[in-house]
Structure 1
């Protein structure tokens, strides 16, 4: 996922707490649904334009690993290496902790039920639980609603958000993300997987971004491909970003017995380890 999108999502949803209502249960979360130790490697290419001409290009290889899954939070470890004009820059390994919903530790969000509503995707109707949300105590008011279907991956079928600066009468930024296709075959490394395609549009007075994502719930983080284009206020091309999945692994999850271990020391596998693809295959 492009960094701009990831940072945007960090603003959106509830802070953690003992009684915190989760936007989606952990088993439907893009990272928390996987065992600790699962990881993915992606290549992100960003091209910057001015007056229609390419002025720079940066390629970044990211390895993202799930370090910890708590009741209502996750910890991700990220390694990054960037290449600009033939020069390679190694970045230090960093860890990021966020709530299951992607929020930072100090944010508070009010979530209220919004009833049910049907969405149509390629002519088929899907009944969704609508969840309204509002970020509390922030300079910019963030409000919106999410359409959740527990039986249809990737589970959140539509998001609508508005960003209103303090004292303003109207939002200065709006974002709409919606699933436009489900259960589509798509090449993921050497396999064909079933994916959903999601279109997102973010508009502000300064910039408009249009993004298409392919998501598979078999892959940590769900996203297996991203294509994002940004335009300035005059509609001129500013940048293009593509994200390609290079490799991934779903770790084996092992549970110890709840009681004291017996002499045989039995362990139980809850999830099979999925294939890791070697470079060049």
Structure 2
């Protein structure tokens, strides 16, 4: 009997060692905080420039649906239709499994708590838990620092990431994203909702991108508006991209116990569809 118990622990311990730490809990994740079946539809317009002149424009209608929420992952289904120069291209429906820390496929991420730090947003101080992250076993070393505030939507108030190719002495790409305004009224389809504005700058050897996002925690995926501009290494305009929310729905959550098996509390949400004729 004792031998059987000992063997059981031998089998269980490696599984415990592989348990994935999360940057934020399910209830504060942009997708995992919503019931499976929730979806959003957006219109993305991308303009490409050369020597300051517009050379092409593409409009994509994209529908993203949450298919599954797991302990440390989500499954998203994406359906897209693009229009270029008057021609419409239907893209096949695809599903993507993504880790809750943003990793894809079989990537593993190590999360290390790094104490607390205060961030100032428009003169007001917010206490954040700092979490270091590193993507393991990849040719490009990806490291980051996340500033998380459980009391302040959209919860991650700042991100810092570096991307360093194997053998390189310095990062090939750096990204900094930070909330610059909180609790601002903003038109979300037919309603005025409260959003946060996030500014992100990504710098690489051949390109720099500057992005502004509006995020609302009542909408699946959080993002309700995006404005991105890309410049080449000489500072010349390469492209402009805007993303506009067209519709969304928060699915009715199935009846569950107060806590899930993983111990995460789940808030019940009501179904919310803005325009019934779009899906």
Does the alignment reach a TM-score above 0.5? yes
Output the CA distance in 2 between the equivalents of 1:106 and 1:201: 27
User: May I ask how many residue pairs the two structures share in their alignment?
Assistant: 255
Corresponding residue number in structure 1 for 2:4: none
Residue-by-residue CA offset, 1:11-34 (whole Å, 9 max, x unaligned): xxxxxx861111100000001100
Output the CA distance in 2 between the equivalents of 1:120 and 1:271: 32
More moved, 214-223 vs 135-144? 135-144
Aligned-residue offset at 1:105: 2.8
Aligned-residue offset at 1:278: 4.3
Query: Secondary structure in 2 aligned to 1:116?
Result: strand
Output the CA distance in 1 between the equivalents of 2:136 and 2:268: 38
Q: Max radius of gyration: which structure?
A: 2
Conserved 8 A contact 2:142-2:163: yes
Residue-by-residue CA offset, 1:31-79 (whole Å, 9 max, x unaligned): 1100111100000000000000000000000011111111111111111
Output the CA distance in 2 between the equivalents of 1:126 and 1:222: 20
More moved, 65-74 vs 176-185? 65-74
Aligned-residue offset at 1:146: 0.4
Corresponding residue number in structure 2 for 1:32: 32
- Indicate whether 1:123 and 2:123 are aligned: yes
Corresponding residue number in structure 2 for 1:91: 91
TM-score normalised over the length of structure 1? 0.87
Corresponding residue number in structure 1 for 2:199: 199
Conserved 8 A contact 2:247-2:273: no
Output the CA distance in 1 between the equivalents of 2:257 and 2:81: 41
Query: Secondary structure in 1 aligned to 2:27?
Result: helix
More moved, 232-241 vs 157-166? 157-166
RMSD of aligned alpha carbons: 1.8
Query: Secondary structure in 2 aligned to 1:55?
Result: strand
Aligned-residue offset at 1:270: 2.9
More moved, 220-229 vs 98-107? 98-107
More moved, 246-255 vs 52-61? 246-255
Output the CA distance in 1 between the equivalents of 2:225 and 2:148: 22
Corresponding residue number in structure 1 for 2:7: none
Residue-by-residue CA offset, 1:235-278 (whole Å, 9 max, x unaligned): 000000000000000011121679xxxxxxxxxx9321123224
TM-score normalised over the length of structure 2? 0.88
Corresponding residue number in structure 2 for 1:186: 186
In structure 2, the CA distance between the partners of 1:248 and 1:52, relative to structure 1 (3 Å rule), is same
- Indicate whether 1:277 and 2:275 are aligned: yes
Conserved 8 A contact 2:164-2:170: yes
Output the CA distance in 1 between the equivalents of 2:98 and 2:203: 26
- Indicate whether 1:228 and 2:228 are aligned: yes
Structure 1 segments unaligned to the other structure (5+ residues)? 1-16, 259-268
- Indicate whether 1:109 and 2:114 are aligned: no
Residue-by-residue CA offset, 1:152-199 (whole Å, 9 max, x unaligned): 000000000111111111112100000000000000000000000000
Output the CA distance in 2 between the equivalents of 1:66 and 1:198: 23
- Indicate whether 1:138 and 2:177 are aligned: no
Mapping of residues 238-277 of structure 1, within 5 Å: 238-255=238-255, 270-277=268-275
Corresponding residue number in structure 2 for 1:19: 19
Conserved 8 A contact 2:30-2:217: yes
Corresponding residue number in structure 2 for 1:157: 157
